[in-house]
Structure 1
Amino acid sequence: MAENQIPKYTSLGTGDRAAYCTSIRLLSCLVTESLVDALFYPLHGQGVAGFAAIQLQGQRGARDTKNLLALLPLLHTPIFRKGEGALLYLTQTIGLLDPLDAAPYIYVLGDTSTSEPTPLLTTIANTLSSKGWKHPNGQTWQCSYDPVVIWRKFASATGVEKALQEDIESEFTSSVKWQKHSFEYPPPAPSFSSLSVAWEQSIVEGHPTHPMHKTRRFLPPIPDFAPGDYDLSNPKLRFVAMPRNSMKITYNFEELVQPVLKTAAAKAGRDLVVPEGHIIIPVHELQLYHIQQKFPEVHIIPKEFELPLLAQQSLRSVVVPEAYRTLHLKLGVGIKLTSAVRTISPESAYLGPRFSAQVEPVLTMDRELVTVARELASVVHSNPNGEIAKHCAALVREYHEGHEEERHERHIVCTSLVERGHSGPGSDIPLVIRVFELDTEEKRAAWLERFVDVFFRAFLPPVLKNGVAFECHPQNCVARFDATTKELKGFIIRDFGGIRVHPPTLKETTGVDLDFIEGHSIIAPDLDDVYTRLYHTVFHNHFQQLIRVLDLHYNGRGWAIVRKKLKENISKAHPLYDAWLSPDRPTLPGKCFMRMRMSGMYRFHLHGPFPNLIHYRGEVEEGARATPKL
């Protein structure tokens, strides 16, 4: 296939490119979550493998193009749906659509246009006509990158309530706006010698499939900052004094924040006076808006005591370079990123330090391969309404990245490895390929095999033995590389908000009862639920993007490496082997971002049947099924 006939999406102007990035993620979710039917029609020539005719589900059986949400040319044969509904209109139905499958064109029906159709669009239209699709008079296919156009048609057809439709629409608009700014003012590309925080701040696009991947919604009373008006990567640390009896303190929080308070006092040139009966809490400067509004008993410490911060990728986890080296802070802040408001719930403030002190030490893990960033202490407001209490909370967490120089290591957050589009030369090449000089398929395969091998040996033992799954998606995983050889040595895992624990298995294997607030979202009713959480974070989220970027997806080689290493690490007698590797598991539960958003969920997950990527064997095998003989 002559792919050079089709430009890369990176060649689009910043506005179109930003809109495309959000729209293609929206279509990816709608298709993969089975909210629409995406019919695949192979094509020969034109530089594409075929196209997806994405149809609103309420119109099954009616071959009328007015019922199509969009037409999407595809560079590669996608992964097809298995089982019921796999074959519609004598062609395969797509089961998993990834943004990297697609060519940078999205066609939607619009009013008659004077522009001449491209040869590709003419071929697509002729193919639909030959398959018996009717076309409405007075409308033509037009290229549109606007996610709002797609969303409105889908929401109208599926009966999404008007207020919710508009709320979600505003999040797409925000995502496009902030993505455009990121493209116009890209971060510099880190080098292998760059410190960990430089990698944290090198993100250009972010989440590979979430349509709100760049959304930044400042919840009132925080002002609605436009991109460029506020530097989210370099905020300030402020302090508030709260009555001690209004706060829930876990462990030695006050002791651990003393270095920060002393540094702030030294910079201000005078003592930071603590009112009697109060506790000083470090807060993100933007969160002062919420705290002043929601907690009338607060005393705001003067601005002269503020300290500079370096934000990690999540924006709420911050390094305090002048006060800490091996600790850092996680601060609640009323900003909505992707689907979640980045505050700290009372449940998380309670669990994190207790899990770190009671459970982490007894888990079955190779401590040379995996280092847990323990949450040492916390504070959260005691308001009985958790939706209010979460706005005044903070955690002190270990910061192992502060040891990287003395350990002769480089610590790189895994999300950054797949990023491209930075300022400077070579920006179209993903960082993992540039930094590790993976200029041949053999080098890429060898690098991936080492990565997968260490990853499984690091994170599978607590699942297999203790029924505990860390949420090891790429934002939570920091890879540790030897500073000289660049060899992967292990991982740091952080953030306990999305872990999954089966308490009976934990108790049976460690003797420890998990101490948590009833109703916490981390509790798994059975081991299958633990396996479900790990599958999504590891295979659908973490490995899929990495394997695609390494160009080891469509030839199936990357997933062959994954299967090999899984079989080396999971006994056939263990139920996890059957759960993931059995040929009778063509699908596995996947996290449904759009279904969750339309249901108003973010802490508890909705899952749907996604194609089991572990079984994927390459584009050739999928292509052989693309035109079934009936």
Structure 2
Amino acid sequence: MHKSRHAVHPIPTLQPTTQLANINLRCIALPRNQLLMRGPFEALLSPLTNSVLSSCRPLIPPHYVILPIHPLQLPNIILHFSSKAIILPSTVFIPARALTSLRTVVLKDQCLLPAHSLKLSLGVKISSALRTITPYSTFFGPGLSRDVIPRLTIIREVLWIEKEIASCVVDCEDSDVAKHCSCVVRETFESENEDSLSSQHGERIIICAALIEKCSNYDDTSVVEKVWGLDTHEKRIAFLERHVIASPTPFHYHSIITFNSTLNRLAFFLNSYVILIFRAFLPPCLNNGFAFEVHGQNVLARFDRVTGQLRGFVVRDFGGVKFHQETLKQSCGVRADVLPGSAMVAEEIAEVGPDTYFRLMTPFN
């Protein structure tokens, strides 16, 4: 994906050669009583912590907690938290691979954090926003994942949700400072490991934003054409027909549409795709007053590994969800636990519908 990236002081200017895909996470340690943790944060990170302690145990007092830090974020840590934090030497690092958002990473040694990713604060503007993590987000995600997500009206075979299991942020009155040192531990289903959810279901997961990209060889070949080998008109038509036949739709269009033209095939595919994505994201909106932030980076498509057919979707990242507390309480029996002033709370149920419409329908406009 091609995104604008602007480093905000004190992070140095990013160069074309700046490594963003494969990075070495740095580590710091902060007193436990100066951190706000939600969920089993220390337990989940204990393999990582033990690995770090094996090389620098004398440096870390027992009442300190080790936090992984994006290497580019280190100047902000020094600026804001040098009086509190122990910054471990550069010889102590954790190799990681960045996901599309750049600030979310998976560890290369997955034994240190199996089936999870780390979302880290990064003081860089990517596209339009500074990619730090506010205390509102670190507080909200684990509670939502534990109390609300299991109760939402979801068609589970169509939509998988990567829950935010735990989080940590510096306890600081100024949220604009605290947001520079925070971390979220999130489930990840797209690993190639045999025990990952996608592997167990015989599926491969692809971020939706990548499906509209062009290949980098300066021709008009799309990623979809390249990955599925759709190098002829006939193969592209067959691709549409496979998706049509496999789409889990309650409507039986097959008997009323004849595939006598490319236009009919394309229209049929779009109908099936739209029905599938509506089945994924409309039920929680209509029944629970809850809207996920549905866009190409937060939503991933699930394809059958053998046939290449679309099976459903994965959604992740709760920083931009919108919900109506009263509707949530009436339908699920719980309210979402949020900090006062959170922008995720809709004062009126009417705010949730337009939000969903905008996010779902923008790609078709």
Name the TM-score class by shorter chain. Answer: 0.7 to 0.9
Aligned partner of 2:33 in structure 1 is 245
Structure 2 counterparts to residues 584-603 of structure 1, below 5 A? none
C-alpha separation in 2, matches of 1:405 and 1:305: 32
Give the gaps of 5 or more residues in structure 2. 238-261
Shift of 1:444: 4.2
1:275 and 2:64 correspond: no
Distance in 1 between residues matched to 2:219 and 2:201, nearest whole Å: 30
Q: Which residue of structure 2 lines up, in the alignment, with residue 285 of structure 1? A: 71
- Matches of 1:302 and 1:447 in 2, distance apart? 54
Deviation at 1:470, TM superposition (A): 0.4
Q: 1:456 aligns to what?
A: 278
Q: Distance in 1 between matches of 2:296 and 2:21?
A: 19
Counterpart position of 1:340 = 129
2:289 is the alignment partner of 1:479: no
Aligned mates of 1:401, 1:351 — CA distance in 2: 24
Deviates more, 1:442-451 or 1:348-357: 442-451
Contact 1:524–1:530 (CA under 8 A) maintained in structure 2? yes
SS of the residue 2:49 aligns to: helix
Is the 2:44–2:113 contact (alpha carbons within 8 Å) kept by the matching residues of 1? no
| One of 211, 223, 229 as aligned partner of 1:417 | 211
**Which residue of the partner structure matches residue 470 of structure 1?**
292
**C-alpha separation between the residues in 2 aligned to 1:445 and 1:263?**
54
Which residue of the partner structure matches residue 341 of structure 2? 519
Per-residue CA shift, 1:17-62, capped at 9, x if unaligned? xxxxxxxxxxxxxxxxxxxxxxxxxxxxxxxxxxxxxxxxxxxxxx
Q: Structure 1 residues 215, 256: CA separation in 2 closer, same or farther (over 3 Å shift)?
A: same
2:227 corresponds in structure 1 to 435
Displacement after TM superposition at 1:342 (Å) = 0.4
- CA deviation string 1:113-134 (max 9, x = no partner): xxxxxxxxxxxxxxxxxxxxxx
Q: 1:272 to 1:346 in 2, by over 3 A?
A: farther
CA RMSD of aligned residues (A): 1.8
Match among 317, 325, 335 for residue 104 of structure 2: 317
Match of 2:86 in 1: 299
Stretch moving more, 347-356 or 428-437: 428-437
Give the aligned length: 327
Task: Give the Cα separation in 1 of the matches to 2:170 and 2:163.
Answer: 21
Which entry has the higher C-alpha Rg, 1 or 2?
1
> 1:325 Cα shift?
3.4
Inter-partner Cα distance in structure 1 for 2:152 and 2:6 = 38
**Matched position secondary structure for 1:235:** strand
Once the two structures are TM-superposed, the CA of residue 271 in structure 1 deviates from its matched residue by: 4.8
Give the Cα separation in 1 of the matches to 2:310 and 2:59. 47
Matches of 2:64 and 2:113 in 1, distance apart? 23
For 1:314, the aligned partner's letter is S
Compared with structure 1, are the counterparts of its residues 236 and 367 closer, same or farther at alpha carbon in structure 2 (3 Å cutoff)?
A: same
The residue that corresponds to 2:24 in the other structure is 236
Aligned AA (2:223): L
Match of 2:351?
529
* Offset at residue 447 of structure 1 (A): 3.9
Q: Which residue is equivalent to 1:588?
A: none
How far apart, in 2, do the equivalents of 1:361 and 1:406 lie? 21
Give the aligned residue type for 2:154: M
How far the C-alpha of 1:263 sits from its partner, in A, is 4.1
Shift of 1:302: 2.0
After superposition, the C-alpha distances for 1:250-289 in whole angstroms (9 at most, x for unaligned) are 12101111122334456x5x65853132111111111111
Asked if the contact 2:215/2:223 (under 8 Å) is kept, the reply is no
Secondary structure at the residue paired with 1:280? strand
- Secondary structure at 2:213 match in 1: coil
Tell me what 2:253 maps to. none
Q: Which amino acid aligns with 1:507?
A: K
Partners of 2:267 and 2:301 lie apart in 1 by 18
Residues 1:349 and 2:138 aligned together: yes
Is the CA contact 2:26–2:88 (under 8 Å) kept in the aligned structure 1?
A: yes
Q: When the two structures are superposed, what TM-score results if normalisation uses the length of structure 2?
A: 0.85
Q: Please tell me whether the aligned partners of residues 469 and 533 of structure 1 are also in contact (alpha carbons under 8 angstroms).
A: yes
Q: Which deviations, in whole Å up to 9, do the C-alpha atoms of 1:434-483 show, x marking residues without a partner?
A: 43436344554444333222211111100010000001111100111100
Q: Name the % identity.
A: 37
Q: Unaligned regions of 5+ residues in structure 1, if any?
A: 1-202, 206-213, 545-612, 614-630
Amino acid across the alignment from 1:370 = L
User: Match of 2:153, SS?
Assistant: coil
